[in-house]
Amino acid sequence: MTVHSRSGVIPTGTTTFYTMIGRPIIQVKDHFKHMRSMTNFGGCLVAIPHKRAALHFMDEISERSKDLLSANVVRVEKGRLIGDMVNGLGFMVAVKTHGLSMRGKRAAIIGGGGAGAAIALAIAQSGADEIVIKDSIPLMRRLTSHPLQCYKTPYEHDRKKPSTQPSGAEHPG
C-alpha cells in the first residue's frame, strides 16, 4: 500500500507515524470509542467510505465539517474526538506555496465527493469569481456544490460554453 499524504511532513513539533487501520463500516463506532482511551494517540485520518459516518462519533466538529457534512481528520484531545475536513485547507496551502491566489479567479473542480466539495468550499471562501463542477454522477455534483450555496461565488454544474473551434474540433472533455 502506498500512503500519499503530505500531512506527515507539515511541521507540528511532534513525531508522526501513519499506519492503516482497516475497519468494516460496522466497526467504525467501536474504533472511535477505543480511540478515546488510547494514550499517546493524537488522532487519525479518515478515508472513504467513513468520512460522513465519522461525524456521528465526534464530540466536536469544525465549521468546515459542519458545512461539508464529513470529516477526514480526527484529533483526540483529553479523551474528546474532534473532527475536521482539511482537504480544502491543504489545497489552499499548495496554492499559496506557489505564490498564487484564487481571489477573482475562475476554477473548475473535476470530480465531486468529499475532497472536491472541501476544495470547492475553500476556493469560494478565498474569493473566486466562479466555480464549475464536473462529475459524471449528478448526485456527486450536487453534493459537491451543496456547501457553496451560502457563498456569493457563482457555481455551475457541467457548464457548456459556445465553442469558438470549427465544428468537430472541440475538445472531448
- Please identify every residue annotated as catalytic: 51
Residue 76's beta-bridge partner residues? 81
**CA-wise closest residue to 145 among 114, 120, 110, 166:** 120
**Whole-angstrom Cα distance, residue 132 to residue 134?**
7
**Whole-angstrom Cα distance, residue 159 to residue 119?**
18
| Contact in structure between 54 and 83 (CB atoms under 8 Å) | yes
3-state secondary structure of 130: strand
To which residue does cell 474528546 refer? 80
Host H or E run for residue 143: helix 138-145
CB within 8 A of 93, min separation 6: which ones? none
**Whole-angstrom Cα distance, residue 53 to residue 82?**
14
